[in-house]
Amino acid sequence: MRVKTRGAIEMIAAMLISGTVGWPVIASGQPAITVVFWRCVFGAFAMFMACVMLGLLKRGALTRQHITIAVIGGITLVLNWILLFGAYSYASISVATVTYHTQPFMLVGLGVLFFGEKLTANAFCWLLVAFGGMLLIIIGQQGAITLGSDYLIGVVMALGAAFMYAVTAAIIKRLKGQPPHLIVLIQLVVGAILLAPFVSWSGLSLPASTWGLLLIIGVIHTGLMSSLLYGAIQKIPTSLVGALSFIYPVVAIIVDWLVFNHHLSAVQMAGASAILLAAAGMNFGWKLAGSRPRESKKYS
């Protein structure tokens, strides 16, 4: 019981941290690519220290095949972060985060296309609920359906981020049983190398406050959050992981409201509720149509 309680506390802390990431991203005033680059640099340092303390940095810890898969996952993970952080500036943290939580359905689609998994009637119904919520999110902003609207661009970027995360999750499935801290370290190093050519090195004379925000994103929102999340997953049931993961979007909406005074309209709130309800239904196997409830599975 003590182990489970500790795991729940770690999961809650991880989701609280995740839900606040938009705040320092926006407050830094830096382009998404710059933020993600320094997230990778500082996060890699934090994960390196974690790997040292856990004794994971030893020869033969991963095979060449595992490293190759981790590298590919690192590329998609970095693209996911760039699109998500970019979406904050266009569609607000709330809308971007809720839209981002369509990722379970994209992972289901990838499973059907590439892993031979079946799309049940129940999953299809939840997909329709999420799609309806997505439409409400789009039309809930006045003028959002106008071609070229910044808001619509933000929604599309968040959907792109969700797709990249789903691809990352599908890739990571092939690394089951491998040390997660070491895998994340590889992905962050890949991200730093990949983005280095696109960072303006002439702009390194940033204010101390900006460097502080970038350090927080890398160490707290990446290194610490990942360590807490992995620790929690090892201690608590998958169903509880799925339930507590919904703290993330709720916190993001509250932060967006309190810090940036961004309020969701009634229509947007209905759309957000539909998406989160559908994601919960997928996580816990809630039955809408004629299919047997399946075992709870964590997709996001």
Enclosing domain of residue 148: 3-55+63-124+144-198+230-237
Q: What pLDDT score does 298 carry?
A: 43
Q: pLDDT tens for residues 94-127? A: 999 999 988 888 888 888 887 777 878 888 888 8
Residue 19 belongs to some domain of the structure = yes
pTM tops 0.75: yes
Angle between helices 32-54 and 180-195 (to 10 degrees): 150
Residue 104 belongs to some domain of the structure = yes
Q: Is the pLDDT of residue 297 over 70?
A: no
The structure tokens 């182990």 sit at: 3
Q: What pLDDT score does 7 carry?
A: 86
| Per-residue confidence band for 190, with pLDDT thresholds at 50, 70 and 90 | very high
**Is the distance from CB of 97 to CB of 272 less than 8 angstroms?**
no
Q: Is the pLDDT of residue 36 over 90?
A: yes
Residue 170 belongs to some domain of the structure = yes
Residue 74 belongs to some domain of the structure = yes
Least confident of 8-22, 234-248, 274-288: 234-248
* Burial (0-12, 13-18, 19+ Cβ within 10 Å), 203: exposed
Residue 288 belongs to some domain of the structure = no
Spatial separation of the C-alpha atoms in residues 238 and 151, rounded to whole Å = 35
Tally of domains within the chain: 1
**CA–CA distances in Å: residue 163 to residues 55, 76, 145, 167:** 33, 9, 21, 6
289 vs 188 pLDDT, higher one: 188
11 phi, psi to nearest 5 deg: -65, -45
In this prediction, residues 61-90 reach a mean pLDDT of: 93
**CA–CA distances in Å: residue 229 to residues 57, 165, 275:** 20, 16, 23
| Per-residue confidence band for 204, with pLDDT thresholds at 50, 70 and 90 | confident
Residue 69 belongs to some domain of the structure = yes
Residue 24 belongs to some domain of the structure = yes
Residue 167 belongs to some domain of the structure = yes
Q: pLDDT tens for residues 223-265? A: 999 888 888 887 887 667 777 888 899 999 999 999 998 888 8
